[in-house]
Structure 1
């Protein structure tokens, strides 16, 4: 097994970047489609509903990231039966967790009313979105497991196909159901459910084509107690980390809502810009996950060091490019995304902060990939908690003084602290895993 070069990193990063980029484009299209209805309350309702659903989905994002790290380590050891057993464990967990989320949908909508506030029109749109969107929870979580497994194998091309299908169906269905059929917010939610169903069917069809039948593990290996406990331990810490991350963004949305429907709608659109930049950079985080996982499985420090250097170089270069693009194209994108002039004008006041988010967060994205691949999940959890404390302290100082500008600056500080704290502790963990140089 050779240490990665630029070509190897790009072979994973480029397809995954293309796939990830379609995800925020779905959010942009959904927001634009609903925004064309000309009612800020509907934009705010979809924004809050998306946050509520994302809290649930991202809480279980370990089904992707945890599966990636464990699969990549099995690849490093050359253990094919364990590669497949890891996927099967993840799919079982996805089904159970998804069923719980479906049953909890009414409670989630009620919690959204209590936590976020907002006008009656915003709350009605939010509840409609949440109750429909969570019907597809088992599909979403099963797709997480499949995407993570493919990434752990380094099959970025297959991941790109599934991601493109997922988001392509979502965009087409959203346009058709919201604007064509006139279903409004409900149409955006049903579009997402339909896209997840189509993608899962395609992913399972690809899995069924696995040629090496002798590598399929028996159920005794799938439910092997030490392996299950190892997955649960890793997933527990990643789940806590993901929940805290979503809580931070939910807090941002709540503070936006408390400033009125206009600021809420403006911040919701700008947050999609941030997600666009983040998913763009996630392609190189995905490369870090794959190569770091293999390095840990094979106990190869040279592979680890090379992956760290190359993903950092590409990540920072692209972060600068994405920030410049968002700043230059931001006004035109805002005009496309909403016909409400007041919302677009308000968003322009805060565009600079959204444009800076890729630069503030690039190290955090890269380090997430490193720690997921190495399954250093406890440190991810702990540094996320530290970053949240710093974020809340910054908010308490900056928002009273600078209003919504202060809220955005606190978010940038949060992103920066996440990356710096993980970068600092990664040196110690590498020495413990591979031995001192």
Structure 2
């Protein structure tokens, strides 16, 4: 129905555009740190890069604090239970605080072994450990930011997280410059500046949630925290399978070339993956909107609205994915020059970007349906589907390596087998009705 489609379009725009800006702002923390630390020296920059891998692994596995909270809060909003929605949000904040404290201590105490495990040699490990010991203190604020953002998204507010993310990034740049160069703290100053910015951003977001929870008990509710943790387990498994697939893809690239050719292939892969990630932010913004819209509609018991909204959002995912693919393919001969002067890297990059571009419409469907099913609280299916997808993908990827396939073949397998398997798993579920569970769980 045209009228219903227009309503969904307006709601998508209202939720997805701020979500996209907030998503883009997230990696700018690391980009700003890299740009500032890079002028200190190569070892410092390499140390930052290794420490960032450790931190991103930890925080990436906790993304359920945002996604799971969004779905749970939105469902109660749809059911007209605003007090219950906020109470569930408070439980998510306490869970984030608990996980943050548990994770921070070993990250600080084991900073040097962790960066060595990530592949750093002794000189680089020293710089990486110096950064990680301080930066790990920002893990708890980061997790609180995730949980608070999830609460606000569930309440259909993506604008506040966007504003805080942008202001937090500006503050991060200012503090990094002040501590690194003004105070002469070097790489430790970069870590300290980031922690301060993260702490202030987390405080702002938590304050918004707490202010909206006036009249509700703010003390920890053990039963509610346990429920939030149990709901997050399935999403952790889903996230683990995705990260395992991406790591396996990079490993496959490194194994398909040797010597100088390996460096060229890995450099081209990194540029291609960076551009693929940028397009993914656009699609993920639609998925975040899908989480909020689906959860609210199911909480209200309106299955027809969920079906109609899903159909419309999948259409938008396909269109946006196709548009991104066309831009990526058109720019493929030119965009490499923005990243490198190496003619070999640019030469390898063109076919990879064309392959990635062809798969973008499929990626659009995958991202949107992933968001819809997260919004429906269908985490168990997503976890099982993620494991099955990886089980299908890994042997094919290994076969490409064994046969000596090059970088383009790795991306063909990633685009066709991995994304194709996810497409099959998600569309199969979406066609059925088992995920359309209405109301609020007891």
Q: TM-score, normalised by structure 2?
A: 0.82
Q: Quick one: structure 1 residues 346 and 50, their matched pair in 2 at CA, closer, same or farther if it must change by over 3 Å?
A: farther
**Aligned residue in 1 for 2:406:** 403
Per the TM alignment, residue 321 of structure 1 is displaced from its structure 2 partner at its CA by 2.2
1:136 is aligned, of 135, 138, 141, to 138
CA distance in 2, matches of 1:31, 1:325: 28
**Aligned residue in 1 for 2:206:** 204
Contact 1:22 1:163 in 2 (8 A): yes
Q: Quick one: structure 1 residues 92 and 367, their matched pair in 2 at CA, closer, same or farther if it must change by over 3 Å?
A: same
**Aligned residue in 2 for 1:233:** 230
Contact 1:68 1:152 in 2 (8 A): yes
**Aligned residue in 2 for 1:244:** 241
Contact 1:395 1:406 in 2 (8 A): no
Q: How does 1:280-429 map to 2 (within 5 A)?
A: 280-329=282-331, 334-337=336-339, 341=342, 345=346, 348=349, 350-353=352-355, 355=357, 358-400=360-402, 401-412=404-415, 413-429=417-433
Contact 1:262 1:342 in 2 (8 A): no
Contact 2:252 2:401 in 1 (8 A): no
**Aligned residue in 2 for 1:213:** 214
**Aligned residue in 1 for 2:8:** 5
**C-alpha RMSD over aligned residues:** 3.5
Q: Quick one: structure 1 residues 317 and 432, their matched pair in 2 at CA, closer, same or farther if it must change by over 3 Å?
A: closer
Contact 2:50 2:120 in 1 (8 A): no
CA distance in 1, matches of 2:265, 2:332: 17
2:67 is aligned, of 54, 65, 68, to 65
Contact 1:63 1:148 in 2 (8 A): yes
Contact 2:303 2:436 in 1 (8 A): no
Contact 2:286 2:313 in 1 (8 A): yes
CA distance in 1, matches of 2:436, 2:238: 22
CA distance in 1, matches of 2:396, 2:177: 39
Contact 1:379 1:422 in 2 (8 A): no
Deviations 1:128-167 (A, max 9, x none): 5544432210011000001101110101221221232234
Contact 1:118 1:257 in 2 (8 A): no
Per the TM alignment, residue 304 of structure 1 is displaced from its structure 2 partner at its CA by 0.5
Per the TM alignment, residue 286 of structure 1 is displaced from its structure 2 partner at its CA by 1.3
CA distance in 1, matches of 2:354, 2:121: 28
Deviations 1:206-261 (A, max 9, x none): 33543x733x2464xx6263x44432221111112112222322333444566655
Deviations 1:289-338 (A, max 9, x none): 01110122111111111220121111111112223333444666544445
Contact 1:278 1:358 in 2 (8 A): no
Per the TM alignment, residue 345 of structure 1 is displaced from its structure 2 partner at its CA by 3.9
Q: Quick one: structure 1 residues 174 and 362, their matched pair in 2 at CA, closer, same or farther if it must change by over 3 Å?
A: farther
SS at 1:433 equivalent: coil
Moved more, 7-16 or 403-412: 403-412
Alignment of 1:18 with 2:21, yes or no, is yes
Deviations 1:359-389 (A, max 9, x none): 4422221122111111111001111111111
Per the TM alignment, residue 13 of structure 1 is displaced from its structure 2 partner at its CA by 1.4
Contact 1:47 1:268 in 2 (8 A): no
Contact 1:173 1:191 in 2 (8 A): yes
Contact 1:74 1:82 in 2 (8 A): yes
Q: Quick one: structure 1 residues 194 and 404, their matched pair in 2 at CA, closer, same or farther if it must change by over 3 Å?
A: farther
Per the TM alignment, residue 75 of structure 1 is displaced from its structure 2 partner at its CA by 0.2
Moved more, 194-203 or 91-100: 194-203
Contact 2:269 2:349 in 1 (8 A): no
Equivalenced residue count is 426
Per the TM alignment, residue 117 of structure 1 is displaced from its structure 2 partner at its CA by 3.8
Per the TM alignment, residue 168 of structure 1 is displaced from its structure 2 partner at its CA by 3.8
Moved more, 426-435 or 132-141: 426-435
Contact 1:263 1:346 in 2 (8 A): no
Per the TM alignment, residue 423 of structure 1 is displaced from its structure 2 partner at its CA by 1.8
**Aligned residue in 2 for 1:145:** 147
1:433 is aligned, of 429, 437, 440, to 437
Which structure's relative contact order is higher, taking Cα pairs within 8 Å and 6+ residues apart?
A: 1
